[in-house]
Amino acid sequence: MAATVQKKIKESAGDKAFLFTIYLVLGLVVIAVLYPLIFIISSSISSPAAVTSGRVWLWPVDISFKGFEVLFKTPEIITGYANSIFYTAAGTLISVTLTVMIAYPLSRKGFFGRNTLMMIITFTMIFNGGLIPTYLVVREMNLIDTRWALLIPNAIWVWQVIIARSFFQSSIPDELMEASEIDGCSDMRFIWSVVLPLSKPILAVLVLMYAVGQWNAYFDALIYLKSADLFPLQLVLRSIIIQNNSAGGAMDVGKMVEKQQLSELLKYSLIVVATLPVLVIYPFVQRYFVQGMLVGSVKG
């Protein structure tokens, strides 16, 4: 038997130094990303005195769930959570539906005036009327202090339309549509039975982007909403931080020092409460998200 000769590529000193630099930079990036997350979680379950005195720097000190107890004993928090879930679910459904409805026709070569229309849509991404004209439009549509004020004005984002259009252009060939027309398939049936099943990556991208945007939005609610029972979670949390209390006196902290300590603890608890849903959802759509971003942004 002939001896098997294994050839190994020897790395030069420059290659080793380059790889060491890459690993070092990546390690620093990982630390920069993970440390704030660990610090916030540790601070949220530490005692108020430990957080205020600065004794928490990595791991929890004097573990306490007082911040979460105060939050979830507050009715406004529960109402805000329910409102945010509704705004996120309904807003994402509306936004994704409208984005697909406008992006798919723009991706078809036979659609008359698609380039002009795309240029007009892109123009709105660069120039807009501003806050006051937008508020006047919302007011004239009688949307002030209604849930629709958070769902309709920002239902479509131009960048998402561009990404979806690029995906449809590169992933849904015209020949596929021509074959379906020969078989007697209508346009709506083609979109429902062919386009959407083949567009799971870009749909995941749109769902994640719109859902995160809706969940974190508070400025529109601050401008358009007046009734406290319509406030999303972000606006409720903002009110708690600004007022420096337990949202309507859910707990009487008594002394000023204890009040300041609890306020500092609440900040970290609020961050955890507000970001937890997004952190839970993202792993389930990560695979489609990466794939959709690559196809929708690089191709086309």
The rounded average pLDDT for each run of 10 residues, N- to C-terminus, in the chain (300 residues) is 53 80 92 88 83 80 80 80 90 92 86 86 82 88 89 88 87 80 79 83 85 85 88 80 53 56 76 79 69 53
CB 74 within 8 A of CB 248: yes
Domain ranges of the chain: 17-53, 76-298
The span from the CA of 149 to the CA of 167, in Å, is 30
The span from the CA of 101 to the CA of 120, in Å, is 16
Q: pTM for the whole thing?
A: 0.75
The span from the CA of 163 to the CA of 165, in Å, is 5
Q: What is the CA radius of gyration of the chain?
A: 26
Token pair belonging to 242: 């600004």
Give me the pLDDT at residue 38, please: 87
CATH superfamily of 76-298: MetI-like (1.10.3720.10)
| Residue found under tokens 């021509």 | 178
Give me the pLDDT at residue 243, please: 64
Q: How many CA atoms lie within 13 A of 267 on its CB side?
A: 15
The span from the CA of 250 to the CA of 245, in Å, is 9
